[in-house]
Structure formats: C-alpha cells, structure tokens
Amino acid sequence: MITLLVFIGTILVLVGVHEGGHFLAAKLAGVYVEEFAIGFGPKLLSVRKGETRYSIRAIPFGGYVRMAGEDREVTSSEIPADRLLYSKPPFTRILISLAGPMANLLTTLLIAILALWAFGTPIIQVEDVIPGMPASAVLKSEDRVLSIQGHAIYNSETLSRLIQQSGGEPIDILVERNGELREFTVRPQFDPVEERYVIGAYFWPVIRTNKLALLDPSSPLSLAGLKENDRIVAVDGEATHTAVAIVGRVDELLPTDSITFTVLREGEQLEIFLSTTGFDLNQSLAGIAFANLGITYRRPGFAAGFVLGAGQFSDYVHMIVEWVHAILTGQVTASETIAGPVGIARLLGEGIKQGPNIFLWLFSYLSLSLGVLNLIPFPALDGSRAAFGLYELVFRRRISPQTEGMIHAIGALIIIALMLLVTYKDIVKLFQ
C-alpha cells in the first residue's frame, strides 16, 4: 500500500510540475487556458477559478493543459482572438511547448541541490592502500578524506582531479581518523600504465570489509566450504583486511588451478581451497557480497551545494545520453532498460525503504527522464509540437490543423501501445 501511495504521489507531483510549466508559460503569454488537468479520464475533483477549470482525473499517468484555439477551432465567441494559442507567434508557441520539459529539468536541479543541503553527500573514505605506494606510508583503511590542498572533498571526481593537478608535487591531505583530524603530506607518482598520477589508495564512500555478508549456496566459495559471516583474513598467505584486498589478491593470482583462503570462523582459523581451473575473477568470486561499515554523510555549505547540485544534474544528463546511445547502438535493448508504471512503482518502493536521500535521487532522476523524454520530437510529445512551431518559424507557413492533429493522434496511439507492452513485461517480471 505504501509503495502504491508513494508511486501515485510521485506521478501526480511530476505531472503537476510538467503541466504547471505549460500552464505558467501560457498564462504569461496571454493564452486563454480552459483546463489544467492532472490525469485522464473521469473527473475525481474539479473546481473553476476564473477562466480556468482545475481538475484531477481518475487515470494518473499524465495530464494536460487545454488552451483555447489549440486545435485552431474556437469553441466560444467570448474568447478574444488574440488569446487563442494559434494567434500567437510560432516562437511563443515553441516556448509554451518546451516549458513543461524545462520545468522538469529545473525541478531535477533544485531537488539535487536541496537534497545535498538537507542530507549531504557520502564522505570519501580510504578503503585500502597499495603496499609500497606513497599512500601506504601515511594513510590507513577507514580514514575519512576531508580535504586536499585546502579544497573540501565531497566526491571522488574532485579528489582525483586534485591529485592530477599536483603534477607530482607533494599534496596535503586532511583526514579524520578515529575521531581526530590528521594532516599528511603525500607525493603522487606517475603511473605510465594508467597515464596519470596516483598515490596508491582505493577511495570509496563505503568500506567493504573481509566479512562475507551474503553467500549464494551455488557460488564457488560456498561449494568450497565458506559460510556467511566468515572473515577471509588471508588469500594464499597474504593478509587481507578488506574486500578490495581480497579481490586484488585473487586477480593477481589468476589464472591458477587453486587458491587457498584463510578463514576466521567463530574464533577458529581454517584453510579452505578453491579450485579455479578455467575461472576468471568474476567466476571465482561470483555469488558473494561483503559486509560494509556503512555510509557517513557530510553536508556541503550553501555555495558548495549549488556547485555539487549542478554537477549531479550534469551526471544525470550524461547517464541518460549514455543510455540512449546504448539503445541506438544495440548495446542494450529498450525492453531491458525501460520500466513502465509497475516497474517504476517497485523502484520507488525500494527507494523509500532505503531512506529519503535515495528516494529523492530517484525522484529527481524520474523528473529529468520525463523532461528529456518530452523533448524528443515524436508525435504527441512536446518536442514534436515545438518542431511544428519551428517549421512554421523557418518556412513561414503553417501545417494544416487536420494534418497536425492526425500526426499527434497516431503518435499518442503508438505511445499508449508501447506503455501497455512495457507494463505487461513489468508484470511478467513480478512472477519470474
């Protein structure tokens, strides 16, 4: 029930923001707005205020802003001609069409910033260090990195950039260790293989320990004799205190016929042998999950929140661009990655269980997706309506209302059919 309520509430807000963008743009342009509706179908709630009727309808998957003259047919002689949509210049109509998607994009940016101010961002921690590298002399696992060269560290991208900018000169790193602030000086060294400066440490928001939190019964390690809650304290005689050390050691040993894992189980130390003939790293460590020490959040200041929020918004856009590119190039199929109402509801339900910051991340990403989707110049979408306005602006002639209406109607039918297909696939996944 909670998942359903969260889903409906999320859709209503996202649609309300989207249609609100069209509504405000139309009002500012002097267009007569007949109805502002969230949802389709029968009216559940309706009230008229001034010239506009505001309504909530039974089917919450969408909404609309009905503007006078939208179909180029005047329904009332009382509406002034200069307030009809198609009496406005094409540039104005383009702005009204794009206002909905732009409202969703702006919402994504604002939520990203507000979430950072309210909940913060995960503190970057030292997961492990590489023996013999510069960091191994001063840094330890579980150190929390607060700043480098006086610059606050809120994400791994900033950390990596500052290391590269050092050019091999010593850098000052401020960390929190066991509740105390400690500052160390490290000289990055150039790695010719990776062609960048490194200090030899693994940085991550969450530290994975050497304890097995989950172990699939069919996994190679389980079949070899390991159990959940075992601690892998050494791999082929080399001590391992973190998950990254275990993974790195196994990767270093492969290919080989067998690997010896030293395990601590209820105070007893055991030697367990894993046959790895023909196995790669993923096959050797398949079906396991290591315990972690959790995530600690740090709230940025006012200005930093703006910068980080803008960066997060840019990352969201990049993710969508990569997703579209992967579909167009055949790397993934659309049916594997597109979720319908059922899939989105499940996703939001899981997000709300993981906390408000995760839910807001999903919410903002959905808002961005809705905005970007509507920018596509496909019939019935806002991008298509803007394209018709652009055509008129460039070629100085209008497409007949019958032709444009028919094109949008066909597009709407295709979109509905695709939505039904995706929903069917989502339901099938529930029973798999």
SS3 content of the chain, % helix, strand, coil (to 5): 50, 25, 25
The partner residues of 249 in beta bridges, in order of sequence, read none
- According to the model, what pLDDT value does residue 334 have? 59
Residue type present at position 50: G
Region 3-20 average pLDDT: 85
- According to the model, what pLDDT value does residue 333 have? 67
Q: Name residue, tokens 């969230």.
A: 38
pLDDT of residue 199 exceeding 80:
yes
pTM for the structure as a whole: 0.76
- Where residue 273 falls (left for φ over 0; alpha for ψ -120 to 50; beta otherwise) is beta
CATH number for the segment(s) 122-204: 2.30.42.10
- Where residue 155 falls (left for φ over 0; alpha for ψ -120 to 50; beta otherwise) is beta
Q: What is the overall mean pLDDT for the chain?
A: 88
Is the CB of residue 374 less than 8 Å from the CB of residue 100?
Answer: yes
Class of domain 208-292: mainly beta
- According to the model, what pLDDT value does residue 426 have? 65
pLDDT digits (tens, 9 = 90+) for 98-113: 999 999 999 999 998 9
Examine residue 217 and say whether the peptide bond preceding it is cis (omega within 30 degrees of 0).
no
Is the CB of residue 235 less than 8 Å from the CB of residue 246?
Answer: yes
pLDDT digits (tens, 9 = 90+) for 224-249: 999 999 999 999 999 999 999 999 99
pLDDT of residue 376 exceeding 80:
yes
| For the chain, percent of residues with pLDDT exceeding 90 | 50
pLDDT digits (tens, 9 = 90+) for 264-292: 999 899 999 999 999 999 999 999 999 99
Rounded to whole angstroms, the Cα distance separating 417 from 414 reads 5
Q: Is the dihedral of CA 353, 432, 287, 124 positive or negative?
A: negative
Read off the pLDDT band of 77 (50, 70, 90): low
Q: 251: part of which helix (H) or strand (E)?
A: helix 243-253
Read off the pLDDT band of 55 (50, 70, 90): very high
Read off the pLDDT band of 75 (50, 70, 90): low
- According to the model, what pLDDT value does residue 403 have? 83
- According to the model, what pLDDT value does residue 259 have? 96
Range with lowest mean pLDDT among 6-20, 24-38, 270-284, 344-358: 344-358
Asked whether the domain spanning 208-292 has the same topology as the one spanning 122-204, the reply is: yes
Pick from 261, 143, 141, 135: nearest CA to 186: 135
Pick from 339, 414, 403: nearest CA to 381: 414
Residue ranges per structural domain of the chain: 2-118+350-430, 122-204, 208-292
